[in-house]
A and B are shown apart, each in its own frame.
Chain A
Amino acid sequence: MIESVLFYLFSLVAIVAGVSVITQRSPIASALSLVVCFFALAADYVMLDAHFVAVVQVLVYAGAIMVLFIFVIMLLNIRETEPAAMGQLTARSGGALLISGLLGVALIAVLDSVVHQTPAELPAEYGTIKAIGEALFNGTYLLPFEAVSLLLTVGMIGAVVLAKREL
């Protein structure tokens, strides 16, 4: 009971923070709203018994990536963004509506296929680091996992090559 109350509470926090990301004027406020959103999502993962994903969510997104975002915003010292011109605004909101509409349809389709099934009993090992490690390194996800790590390495090397003139 408590868990579902907390789940909806944190979901509400995540949605409010998510809306705040796009409505705030100051970039720092937007970035911090995103941190709150990530944190609330991590709390939701905990309520769904996915402890490892929750901790990694905080560690990677809130703790590393957003710190770098805020670092850059602080370094450039951007206080407030200028409101965009009306014409630009209509074009942007049109694009945003189109994309979020498509994503919404996809989300409803996915939820529709899941929501009619009765939830299975969770295995005792569900969400533990051991279970995730088995799936990633011993199971079906080995190839995609290694491909993603290769992609990340290539991206990192690419960033260094682009940013540094003389190596």
Chain B
Amino acid sequence: MSEFWLDMLVVVLRCVFSVAFVMNIVPLMIWGERKGAAYIQDRPGPNRAPIDLPNPADLPRLLSAALRGEPLDYKPVVSLRAAGLIHTLTDVVKLAFKEDITPDHVEKFYWFIAPVIAMSIALCTFAVVPFGDSFLGYNLQVSSLDGGLLFVLAMTSLGVYGIMLAGWASNNKFSLLGGLRASAQMVSYELAMGLSAVVVFLSAGSVSLAEITRQQGEALSIFGLVEIPALNWNVFSPFGLLAFILFWVAVFAETNRTPFDLPEGEAELVGGYHTEYSSFRFALFFMAEYANMIVAAAVTATMFFGGYNVPLFSGAFLRENADMVLAVLGLGAIPAFLGLAVVAWKRRGRPFYAAIPSDDPRRNEPAFFTAVWLGAAAAHGGLGVAGLMGGLTGLSALVGVEGLGADLLVFVLHVSSLGVKVLIGGWIFIWVRWTLPRMRYDQLMNLGWRYMLPIALVNVFCAAGWIILRHELFA
């Protein structure tokens, strides 16, 4: 394979990975939103929709029936409900197969492209977020654009078109008001968002997200006394902390989340800009909101919380000690998975299981999950033992942890680190939504223009002054 095609393949793989990263967290966030809302409101939340698994012995018969196009009838052995995770799947099926209604009074062309714009802009923004340091010498970032963070700001400012067009093309006053609210609010908060990002540019001396992340992987020195490896996060400086708070508030306004979700204020605007949408067009708006949240959390994590960096362990350290890292992680995961297995097994004692008939397939769910967690414990134990053997004997080429293996391990760790940070950010979105009431429109504008913008400006000047002062004093 020639160099050119290999490069093309890498480009395609990077694009596929970053889209998959965002789109796979979307259902998880929707599930978290429902469960989180339920627990905050003291109710159990979604827990009914099942997937009925057939007996493995029936599989050949079912497969041939499916190929012949006959109905599949089988007696399920396990009815898997997975704490409500299946609800997201059923939602997708429902939205995909619902009738797609196009009202007569809409401006067809703009009405059709609005959800497409909303979704594609949300996914494009992730292109400049690095999700690992390098893999066999390739950058782990779709585009290593020089103006990385500016690209994020440019894309968020384009994101407003989807909502605006949806509101206008729907051709009714409630949707139009929703679209107008969204555009006014997003334009207002972009300023505070951009200015708080300037603090990060100043301290990093670069606008490239890859460079900003790399610098945050260096050691954090506290007055030159203590050095903490791989924890030089921007949030650990006074200006960075203030910038993070401003940025995070602005992100809530940009993603139209509570307390700033006036564009879809259901009490006064029916459903806001997406009132006229049904079926999968509505689903696109719905997914775009979650994709925007995930991308915003990823950008925030990259700017202020070290991005893909694992706290306390630099990429170089992890690569050098790949065998021992694998051993510690693999063996350390065994007790965690065993604990999960015990928890799953103990669920059999719940009153629910006494109340259903003894041949109900839902009875077998705890046993199924116990088996899953035991299997995971065994798999991680195997990896851990392999790492330990490699580390102790120095024959790590035998277990594949060198070069490719080490890069693969570091890649998994970096992606997981970014993923965990994104999930924490996503949880804060959910937490705030079910805790705070919606703001009034004048309060929203006051907060943006009279408080956040001046504070962000002062913060930029103070940070710039401090950087010059530090340069004069210490260098």
Secondary structure dominating the interface of A: helix
Q: Are A74 and B160 in contact (CB under 8 A)?
A: no
A55-B150, A129-B207 are known contacts. Are A70 and B183 too (CB-CB below 8 A)? Answer: yes
Q: Which one of A57-65, A112-120, A140-148, A156-164 contacts B? A: A57-65
Contact with B along A65-87 (1 / 0, CB 8 A): 00110110011010000000000
A28-B110, A74-B164, A74-B176 are known contacts. Are A59 and B183 too (CB-CB below 8 A)? Answer: no
Residues of chain B in range 145-178 having any CB-CB distance to chain A below 8 Å: 145-147, 150-151, 153-158, 160-161, 164-165, 167-168, 176
Secondary structure dominating the interface of B: helix
Query: How far, in angstroms, from A62 to B183 measured CA to CA in the complex?
Result: 13
Residues of A within 8 A of B183 (CB): 67, 70-71, 74
A64-B190, A68-B187, A70-B164 are known contacts. Are A128 and B146 too (CB-CB below 8 A)? Answer: yes
- Whether, in the assembled complex, B184 has its beta carbon less than 8 Å from a beta carbon of chain A, the answer is yes
Query: How far, in angstroms, from A74 to B207 measured CA to CA in the complex?
Result: 35
Contact with A along B99-125 (1 / 0, CB 8 A): 000000000001000000000000000
Assign chain B's interface to a size class. 20 to 34
Q: How far is the CB of B173 from chain A (nearest CB, A)?
A: 9
Q: Are A51 and B145 in contact (CB under 8 A)?
A: yes
Contact with B along A23-60 (1 / 0, CB 8 A): 00000100010010000000000000001100110110
Query: How far, in angstroms, from A77 to B145 measured CA to CA in the complex?
Result: 39
Q: How far is the CB of B204 from chain A (nearest CB, A)?
A: 12
Residue in chain B with minimal CB distance to A53: B147
Q: Are B176 and A58 in contact (CB under 8 A)?
A: no
Residues of B within 8 A of A74 (CB): 164, 167-168, 176, 179-180, 183
A59-B153, A71-B180, A129-B146 are known contacts. Are A64 and B187 too (CB-CB below 8 A)? Answer: yes
Residues of B within 8 A of A35 (CB): 161
A70-B164, A74-B179 are known contacts. Are A63 and B154 too (CB-CB below 8 A)? Answer: yes
Query: How far, in angstroms, from A127 to B145 measured CA to CA in the complex?
Result: 12
Q: Are B180 and A59 in contact (CB under 8 A)?
A: no
Give the residue of B157, B164, B184, B186 whose beta carbon is less than 8 angstroms from that of A59.
B157
Residues of A within 8 A of B164 (CB): 67, 70-71, 74
Residues of A within 8 A of B160 (CB): 63, 67
Query: How far, in angstroms, from A63 to B153 measured CA to CA in the complex?
Result: 9
Q: How far is the CB of A70 from chain B (nearest CB, A)?
A: 6
By a beta-carbon cutoff of 8 Å, the part of chain A in contact with chain B is 28, 32, 35, 51-52, 55-56, 58-59, 62-64, 67-68, 70-71, 74-75, 77, 127-129
Jot down 14 A-B pairs with beta carbons below 8 A, ordered by A. A32-B110, A51-B147, A52-B147, A55-B151, A56-B154, A58-B157, A58-B158, A59-B153, A62-B158, A63-B154, A67-B160, A68-B187, A70-B168, A75-B180
